[in-house]
Amino acid sequence: MIPPVYITGTGVLCSAGSDRQALWESLTKGTRGIGPVRILDTDLRDFPVGEVPLTDAQLRQRAGAAEGLSRTSLMGILAVGEALSQAGLTDLKEIPLVSGTTVGGMDLTEKTFPDYSVSHDCGASTDAIAAHFGGTRATTVSTACSSAANALILGANLIRSGRADIVVAGGSECLTSFHLHGFHSLMILDPQPCRPFDIRRAGLNLGEGAAFLVLESEASVKGRKINPLARLAGFGNACDAFHQTASSENGEGAFLAMSKALEMASLLPGDISYVNAHGTGTPNNDASESAALRRVFGNRIPPVSSTKAYTGHTTSASGSIEAVISVLCLQHQALPGQPAPLEPDPACILPLTGPLQGPVDHVLCNSFGFGGNDTSLLFSACR
């Protein structure tokens, strides 16, 4: 029998909410966090973004953090702090931190280049988050847009293998000019707020944010006498290597990832209450993910929506932000729909528009990265 992995705390910060309560209110009220660039110093200002509406100084003040930290680190500190607080924990002195990121401290590099070029790698931002909470055991996962989801898998495996009783896992990613120009060069940015699965969709809106979850073993949950929020019941990762950036027409990697998650959780497709889709709003991704969903669920596709319509695509942090949303769905017994109106696309599934009340027992959460690194997480309610 696979040892259970429980979730006892969540923390999140993104353009649609400065904490989990604010984010949930935005999702249920249909309030988008997507708008013009206001804080990022960039010459590419023609595309809307999901920008956290706080300056670095404001983030630093809220976090009580030291000078000189990257925006990625500051957002991560705030999300970790919220997660630890909900779990009844105060620090990371005995707790490993696993964080997913790709941009890392690129914002600091941009501010100093070319006069004073310094390397601010992915691992540096993770180490800074851990150090803020007194932690010394930290590692970084960088697999593009599936980074945070894979960080949660690594954290769960640390618990399942007995190497840790508690792990804090998730991801953090800030917007940078380099980041924005990179996606612009791929010609997949939408000049309007993104429209996942809509026939008019023209690309994604980049976003930023951070989210972390406290993962805990059954023995630790019982020993601390804490009520878990949910269970990470299954997960799957597959790399179909179809193309450097595009997804395959039949969604092979996504199909395999979802199938593996269901198998690990010993669940059938009909048991799933909701799918939080990767749903970037690009023509290729949404059609490919729809093909994979049809292969998994046949004619009985559960409610599906992409919350990137509210947060923007937070790239490496998206897996953990949407994992927190999935846990909130289980807690509130409700589902967030996409903003309406929506024009259906025969090539795509028809997503949920507007909120929907439960029951919500099992949620699949998809995160797909460049190169076909596809991950699905399966969260279950604790009854």
Residue (of 18, 4, 8) closest to 211 by Cα position: 18
User: Would residue 362 show up in a list of annotated catalytic residues for this protein?
Assistant: no
Catalytic residue, chosen from 145, 174, 329, 365, is 145
How far apart are alpha carbons 380 and 158 in whole angstroms? 20
Whether the bond between 303 and the residue before it is cis, its omega within 30 degrees of 0, is: no
Catalytic residue, chosen from 120, 132, 179, 278, is 278
How far apart are alpha carbons 101 and 176 in whole angstroms? 13
Q: Is 31 exposed, middle or buried (0-12, 13-18, 19+ CB in 10 A)?
A: middle
User: Would residue 14 show up in a list of annotated catalytic residues for this protein?
Assistant: no
Q: In the 3-class helix/strand/coil scheme, how is 149-160 assigned residue by residue? A: HHHHHHHHHHHH
Residues 6+ apart with CB under 8 A from 131: none
Residue pair 333/243 in contact by the 8 Å Cβ criterion = no
User: Would residue 332 show up in a list of annotated catalytic residues for this protein?
Assistant: no
How far apart are alpha carbons 25 and 64 in whole angstroms? 26
What is the amino acid identity at position 9? G
Active site residues: 145, 278, 313
